[in-house]
């Protein structure tokens, strides 16, 4: 999804028991700018997801747990510089 939007992507092994380099290795060596870690119900995946999200937070790397949020973040990165405006919540509420 991200590469289709024009940003470079390098895939890494998500499962921590599948060897190295894995996603924790690339998070800890500061070679990623963001992490997308979606959730599922399998116990080992939940445990791995915890370690992945924790490593991202400790390194102050953005970590998205939903694809729609990641898509919105990527979309905002691809916008032209002056094509949007930022307003306070109060300004948004008063506009409606």
User: Does domain 3-95 bear CATH number 3.40.50.1380?
Assistant: yes
Measured CA angle at 19 (ends 51, 13), to 5 deg = 65
Alpha helices per DSSP H over the chain: 23-28, 43-58, 67-78, 89-95
**pLDDT tens figures, 32-91:** 889 988 877 777 778 888 999 999 999 999 999 998 999 888 888 888 877 777 888 999
- Map out the domains of the chain as residue ranges: 3-95
């Amino acid at each position: 999804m991200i590469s289709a939007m024009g940003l470079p992507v390098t895939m890494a092994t998500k499962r921590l028991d599948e060897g190295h380099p894995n996603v924790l290795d690339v998070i800890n060596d500061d070679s990623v700018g963001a992490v997308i870690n979606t959730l599922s119900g399998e116990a080992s995946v939940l445990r791995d997801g915890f370690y992945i999200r924790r490593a991202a937070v400790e390194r102050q790397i953005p970590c998205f747990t939903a694809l729609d949020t990641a898509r919105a973040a990527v979309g905002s990165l691809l916008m032209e510089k002056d094509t949007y405006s930022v307003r306070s919540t109060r300004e948004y509420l008063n506009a409606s």
